[in-house]
C-alpha cells in the first residue's frame, strides 16, 4: 500500500467488522508520528506510514487498549 522506509505492517487479531477496522485506522491516524494508516479487515493487518519512527511497544499498546491483540509487527 505504501512505498516508504518508514512503514510497518501490524498483524491484528480480534477485528471482526468494518467498525473495528475504522476504529483501529482512525486511532492510528491520530498519532502524531503517523502520516497515514490503512487497515485491511480480511487480511487482519494495518499498514502504517510514519513521519518519524515509532516504537513497536507503543503501537502494540495503542491497539491493545482498543481491545485487539497484536500478533506481530514487521518493518
Q: Is 42 within a domain? A: yes
Mean pLDDT of 25-49: 97
Domain count for the chain: 1
Structural domain range at position 34: 7-74
The C-alpha atoms of residue 7 and residue 10 are separated, in whole angstroms, by 10
Q: Is 1 within a domain? A: no
Q: Is 37 within a domain? A: yes
Tally of CA atoms within 13 A in the half-sphere of 47 that contains its CB: 8
Q: Is 55 within a domain? A: yes
Whole-number pLDDT of residue 2: 53
Whole-number pLDDT of residue 32: 95
Average confidence score pLDDT of the chain: 94
pTM: 0.90
Whole-number pLDDT of residue 66: 98
Read off the CATH number of the domain in which 21 is found: 3.30.70.100
pLDDT band at 5 (very low <50, low <70, confident <90, very high): low
Q: Is 59 within a domain? A: yes
The C-alpha atoms of residue 5 and residue 46 are separated, in whole angstroms, by 16
- DSSP states of 4-53 as a string? -SSEEEEEEE---SHHHHHHHHHHHHTSTTEEEEEEETTTTEEEEEESS-
Amino acid at each position: 500500500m505504501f512505498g516508504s522506509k518508514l512503514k510497518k505492517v501490524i498483524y491484528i487479531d480480534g477485528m471482526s467488522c468494518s467498525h473495528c477496522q475504522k476504529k483501529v485506522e482512525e486511532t492510528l491516524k491520530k498519532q502524531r508520528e503517523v502520516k497515514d494508516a490503512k487497515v485491511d479487515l480480511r487480511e487482519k493487518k494495518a499498514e502504517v506510514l510514519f513521519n518519524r519512527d515509532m516504537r513497536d511497544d507503543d503501537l502494540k499498546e495503542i491497539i491493545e487498549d482498543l481491545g485487539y491483540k497484536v500478533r506481530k509487527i514487521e518493518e
